[in-house]
Amino acid sequence: MIKPDGVQRGLIGKVLQRIEQKGFKIVAMKLAVMPEEKAKAHYAEHVGKKFYQDLVDFITSGPSVSLVVEGRGAIAAMRKMNGATNPAEAVPGTLRGDFGIETGRNVVHGSDSPASAAREIALHFCASELVNFKRIDEAWLYE
């Protein structure tokens, strides 16, 4: 997901470009202001933590871009591409290392496991919104 700060700062194209240049394909994408109930469900694992309401308030503060990214090792690779949650600790070359300054405005979100990805995809997309296609360069990406 490209969070509201990334959208407001005009970083959608740069984030999408990096994903596609890596060789991953985007099979679903949606620009929307996340409703509060969806935000609470999205961040459900943080209920009770002192920063929970701040997360909900921020993610609903403006439009975000929800994405489904596919490719071998996509979850682990996207987490590396995103960089450390705290941009001050994210290495240059990562999205957060290049574009973020503070943890509360760290530009992107990525699922941390297949279970989280499945839950988050179901929260943001219905099955008919996922587009199944083969990229023409897949023969050059995978052995």
Q: Is 109 a catalytic residue?
A: yes
37 and 60 in contact (C-beta within 8 Å)? no
Q: How far apart are CA 78 and CA 49, in angstroms?
A: 25
Question: Which three-class secondary structure state does DSSP give residue 45?
Answer: helix
Catalytic residue among 42, 46, 109, 124: 109
Tokens 């209920």, located at residue = 47
Burial of 103 (0-12, 13-18, 19+ CB in 10 A): middle
Point out the residues that are catalytic: 109
